[in-house]
Chains A and B, each alone.
Chain A
Amino acid sequence: MSSWLLRPLSTVSVQVRNYGRFGRKPRITKPRPSHTYRALVEHIVQPKYVDFVKSLPPNETCELNAHYQSVTAAVETNVTKYETLLAREALMKFQSSQLTLIFHRNKMEGWDYFDASLALHKCGIKVEAIGKKILQIALDGTKYSNILPIFTGHQLIGFGMEKSDPKSVKAIFKALRRTPGVVLMAGILQDRIMSTSQLKSYSEWGNKHAELVSTLATVGGADLSRLDAVKSPRVTTQLLYFILKIFILFPKQAVCCVALLDGFRQILVACVSVLKSQFATFDASMFPPMLVSVPHPETLTTVPVLKEVDVDKLIVLTFVLSMVAAVFSLMIPMFFGSDPTKDDGYKGYTKPNPLIFCSAF
């Protein structure tokens, strides 16, 4: 009996706490159904949380109703601090990158995604998966707001901080051929939204630009100086003299021909000089902007789509123009030379008599 009195009291209270009044373990997973009155009270006392939006009457839940739209907008746009932080970082990346590419992401496994991101990393593009809600917060109200309609889900964004020249873009297209899980949709280059076809022509422009500049410099450019030097009243009088000999019966028509030829020559000079100045510096600005403002997809207005620059046709056109200009520039001094009545400073050189040429005709 003395041992029972001396036992510690903590053991007694623990035993009572664990097994309750009747000394049994309580059944937690399968509790005993409670008494009827206790169950009734528990059922009545349970709180009912009513959804405010669903409790509205049907005339207010109409989607065209402004009140319903304002209520739903307030409930859905619950922006947290973390989301604003992520949005700020995303906007900084957009502003600091020279080339941003927007991809569609297909269903692919982890190692396929790693291979795709590694291939693009080798081309200087860092791929990130940013959600549409964060992009909406980041780009709304900025100059990048026109690209928001693309972000409907399953998108990847590639930021190229260093390189944006045509060679690097060509390397990107080569890498994308082996990654079917990633589909290029659009890109931003020098504050311009570019489609895939425009980016592809930009990547192929590198070689064609060199061709164009060489044609302008060698063929057209060399004869430009001749055409400019030949711009003198002596030439027009000599032309008139030559044409009058032939069309002596129609002097008025002859004068018109002279004016036409002179005008055509001036037009040629202007065209070639304009082309030369335009394509001297290779820039994305030579591409027409895709769209200055993209309308909301729900609007029904048609948006004009600008045609892309056809590089091959431009080269052919400049070549033809320059050849025609060269022919004209060669014709005029060949047949008329200089006026024999005026002294040009030539000494010890017998000038050809232009009358001989005229008599031949």
Chain B
Amino acid sequence: MAEKFKVARMFGKVVNKVKPIVFEGAWVPKPTSYALSELEAKKLNLKPVKKITVRFDPFEASSTNARWFLYLTSDVLLRETNLKCSFKVDVVNDRLPSQIGVELENGQKLKILPANLTPLEIMKEINSVVLPLVPPPLEESKIVQTKATKKQKR
């Protein structure tokens, strides 16, 4: 449905100009930080990561973000990027804010306190550190020519 209409009279004729449609379709609500963090988690690659530890107190307020991070990193496809990467979960009872620890292969350690961060910010921080260290994919090895393939060519 066009938004604006122009009716012009030129030399006694009625010329109707209809503008193009700007928007068409269903109105979708703005995606939340949880949905956007899921998209960020799909970009993550755990090859340079050695160990991930998540420590939280379930009765503490900041445990929701830690638990969401656990939920995202428990994806099968993400874990298949590095099967040697170990995950440790500490459920404590000390009412202290939760912690996320990421240990990399090159010795670097990343400590995140998810108390005042949104899930999107947590994933972006980790991606900014981890993704530059991901090695490039290997080139496809050359196909070895066998006698059968050579005969087919002839």
Q: Which A residues contact B (CB, under 8 angstroms)?
A: 33, 36, 39-40, 42-43, 102, 104-109, 149-150, 152-154, 180-181, 183-186, 195-198, 290-291, 294, 297-298, 302-303, 305
Contact = CB atoms under 8 A, between A and B. Distances in A.
Contact of A43 (B1, B64, B68, B92): B1
Interface residues of B, number: 27
A198 B94 CA distance: 13
Contacts of A198: 93
23 contacts: A36-B7, A36-B18, A39-B2, A40-B5, A42-B1, A102-B58, A104-B67, A108-B74, A149-B58, A149-B59, A152-B64, A153-B67, A180-B74, A183-B91, A195-B91, A195-B92, A195-B93, A196-B93, A197-B92, A197-B93, A294-B59, A297-B59, A297-B61
B60 interface: yes
B80 interface: no
Nearest to A195: B93
B52 interface: no
Nearest to B67: A104
A246 to B, nearest CB: 55
Most chain A CB within a 10 A radius of its CB, from B1, B7, B18, B58: B58
Contacts, number: 73
Nearest to B14: A36
Q: 6 closest A-B pairs (Cβ-Cβ)? A: A106-B74, A297-B61, A195-B93, A185-B58, A107-B74, A152-B64
Contacts of A104: 58, 67, 70
A152 B2 contact: no
A106 B91 contact: no
A39 B1 contact: yes
B141 interface: no
B23 interface: no
B95 interface: yes
A305 B67 contact: no
B5 A106 contact: no
Contacts of B16: 36
Given A36-B7, A104-B58, 9 more contacts: A40-B5, A149-B59, A150-B58, A186-B58, A196-B91, A198-B93, A297-B59, A302-B95, A303-B95
B76 interface: yes
Contact of A185 (B2, B7, B72, B91): B91
Given A36-B16, A183-B89, A297-B60, A152 B67 contact: yes
Contact of B72 (A107, A108, A298): A107
Contacts of A196: 91, 93
Given A109-B76, A152-B64, A186-B58, A305 B93 contact: yes
Interface string B78-121: 00000000010101111100000000000000000000000000
Contacts of B87: 180
Contact of B93 (A36, A105, A152, A290): A290
Nearest to A183: B89
Contacts of A186: 58-59
A294 B93 CA distance: 12
A240 B16 CA distance: 126
Contacts of A33: 18
Contacts of B94: 305
Contacts of B11: none
Contacts of B75: 107
Contacts of B93: 195-198, 290, 305
A42 B67 CA distance: 50
A237 to B, nearest CB: 55
Given A107-B74, A183-B70, A305-B93, A150 B61 contact: no
